[in-house]
Amino acid sequence: TRVEFLDYEAVVDYGWSLDDDELFRKAGHADLGPDAHGRLLVHPDESLLEAAERSGFAWPFSCRGGACANCAVYLAEGELSQPTDHIMPEDLAERGFRLSCNGYPLTDELSVVFNVKQRPELDDLIL
């Protein structure tokens, strides 16, 4: 699975919105560093977080077991599995929030914003 990723810090810095259809196009035109915007590959049986780490990126995490939301990402395109045993509430999942530590790609392409743990709606989930 090919993943295009974007750091939520950049979304904040540029005043962009997560639900902007043009978000990744805007990111492509901004002068962002390789850690903030780029692409990586997820191998079979690899979680999104594991793939980011293997690719040399330091994405946030803590428990690695679906219990804290520090690893939360926003899914702009594609689908990432959500195991049954996790902390993400249904309404946030419906809005595109997922956990990268136990999220496995279900589509060949994904666009994700990582580092979304600072979003206010995730405050209560962060341990």
Structural tokens at position 91: 């309404």
The number of angstroms, rounded, from the C-alpha of 123 to the middle of its chain's C-alpha atoms is 16
Q: How far is the CB of 92 from ligand FES (least distance, A)?
A: 13
Residue with smaller CB distance to ligand FES, 61 or 104? 61
Residue with smaller CB distance to ligand FES, 70 or 115? 70
Q: How far apart are CA 10 and CA 36, in angstroms?
A: 7
Among candidate residues 10, 2, 109, the one with its CA nearest the CA of residue 55 = 2
- Residue 68 interacts with ligand FES (CB under 6 A): yes or no: yes
Residue with smaller CB distance to ligand FES, 24 or 114? 114
Please name the residue ranges forming H helices in the chain: 8-14, 23-29, 48-54, 90-94
Piece in contact with ligand FES (CB under 6 A), picked from 10-18, 20-28, 69-77, 106-114: 69-77
Contact with ligand FES (CB under 6 A): which of 3, 80, 101, 112? 101
Structural tokens at position 65: 């077991």
Q: Which residues, 6 or more positions from 36, have their beta carbon under 8 angstroms from its beta carbon?
A: 6, 7, 9, 10
Q: How many residues bind ligand FES (CB under 6 A)?
A: 12
- Residue 82 interacts with ligand FES (CB under 6 A): yes or no: no
Q: How far is the CB of 69 from ligand FES (least distance, A)?
A: 5
By beta carbon distance, the residue nearest ligand FES is 101
